[in-house]
Amino acid sequence: MSFVNRYAVTIEWGDCDAAGIVFYPRYFAMFDAATAHLFATASGMRQHDYQRHFGIAGIPMVDTRATFLLPSSYGDEVVIESRVTEIGRSSFSVHHRLLKPDAGQGAEALAAECWEKRVWAERDPNDPARMRGKPVPAEVRGLLGLG
For helices 24-43 and 47-54, the axis angle rounded to 10 degrees is 60
pLDDT per residue of the chain (147 residues) written in tens, 0 to 9? 789 999 999 999 999 999 999 999 999 999 999 999 999 999 999 999 999 999 999 999 999 999 999 999 999 999 999 999 999 999 999 999 999 987 667 789 999 999 999 999 999 999 989 999 999 999 999 999 997
Look up the domain containing 21 and give its range. 4-143
For the domain that residue 86 is a member of, what is the CATH number? Answer: 3.10.129.10
pLDDT score of 104: 66
Rounded CA-CA distance 71/40 in Å is 28
pLDDT score of 102: 77
Per-residue pLDDT tens for 105-141?
Answer: 778 999 999 999 999 999 999 998 999 999 999 999 9
Catalytic residue among 17, 49, 102, 124: 17
Clarify whether 17 is annotated catalytic.
Answer: yes
Exposure class string for 60-79: b at 16+ Cβ within 10 A, else e: eeeeeeeeeeeebeeebebb
> In the beta sheet, which residues pair with residue 113?
67, 97
Number of domain units in the chain: 1
pLDDT score of 4: 97
